[in-house]
Every structure is written in structure tokens, then in C-alpha cells.
Amino acid sequence: MNVSAVSRFTRRPRKARIATALLTLAALTACGEQPAGGADAAPTTSFTENGVTVTLSLSDWQARNGTLTAVFTPEEGFHLYSTDLPPTGIEGVGRPTAMDVTGVLKAGGKLAAAAEVRTISLPGVDAPVPVYPDGPVTTTLPVRADGNGEATVLLGYASCNEREGCTIPVSDRPVHLRITDDGPAFADR
């Protein structure tokens, strides 16, 4: 990755930096260990890293089974790489949108994305690269808890824009959960 692609985020226009900061503040204010919807509402948390805001929730929790949902929202005009991209990309380019779980939480199926995959051609890369259209991508993963205790959700992604380059990939970014008889709760704030 060239220096201009990496340093682009430090030279963003002031208006874009302020907008990103306000969106992040709103997401963090609205999200926390338990949302305002009451005890039956899905636990939710959110963070922003390397140009992408990720909102994570755990819903449909019944009999120690549920659905882990991650909404990846890149900056305007940026796209994410497909969940089907190999872990090291294609010819070293790109990183897949990924979600995995460890600890007492186990995956009950495959990660699914609610977006159409398209391919793009990149200079210096012989094979087409699978990406999602610009904008937010919602992914879901069925999960089950094997008892009470600690669990970790590991998230990975990279966002790109054909004109401005790519952000630094995020790999195995941890988000911690605690599973009890009362249900799941995010430990991160």
C-alpha cells in the first residue's frame, strides 16, 4: 500500500472529519451494553476504525441460540471486499469482510451478507476482485452459546475507493461479550 493511500485519512477535509466524528459520537451515544428498548431488546455496540463504522448486535436470543449481525458502513464512496475473498486477498490485494467468534460462543453456520457481489478490475491484478457496492453491508452469523462465560467476536474488513485508494485493513478486531443465564451482553463500550 502506498503512503498516499494511507495518509489520505490524515488529510481529509475538515468538514469530512467533523461529519465522521459526529456520526461516531451519535453511534456511541445510541449504542452501549443494553439499548433503551428494554430487557428484550438486542444488545448492541458500535465502533469506528479505519474509515468504517461497525454496529454489532445479537438478536433472536432463545435457548442459547441467536443471530449476530454486523453492519459495516464505510465512508461515502467506499466499498468493502466480499466475504468470499481469500484471507490474503487476490494477488495480495484486499481483505475479506469477516466475522468469527471464540470462547463460549460458537458459529452455528456460515457468515452471510445481504449485498450483491460485483467484481472490479484493479491495476496490477490479473484476476477480478469481488466487492460489494459502495455503502453499508449487513452480515449475519448464526451463533450458539456453550455455557456461560466470556466470548469474543473477531471482525475483519477493508474499504476501498478506486480514486483514493484503500484504507488500512482491520484484522481480528475483538469485541467482547459476556454470556449469562440472563442472556448476552457486550462488555465493550
Q: How confident is the model over 18-73, as pLDDT tens digits?
A: 344 334 434 433 444 333 334 457 899 999 999 999 999 999 999 999 999 999 99
Question: What count of Cα atoms within 13 Å lies in the side-chain half-sphere of residue 8?
Answer: 16
Q: First-to-last CA distance in the chain?
A: 31
- Size of the chain in residues: 189
Domains of the chain in start order, with CATH, are: 3-186 (2.60.40.1250)
pLDDT of 153 higher than 60: yes
Strand-pair category, 137-145 with 165-166: unpaired
Residue 142: alpha-carbon gap to chain centroid: 16
Is residue 161 predicted with pLDDT exceeding 70?
yes
Q: Which tens digit of pLDDT belongs to each residue from 51-65? A: 999 999 999 999 999
pTM of the model: 0.77
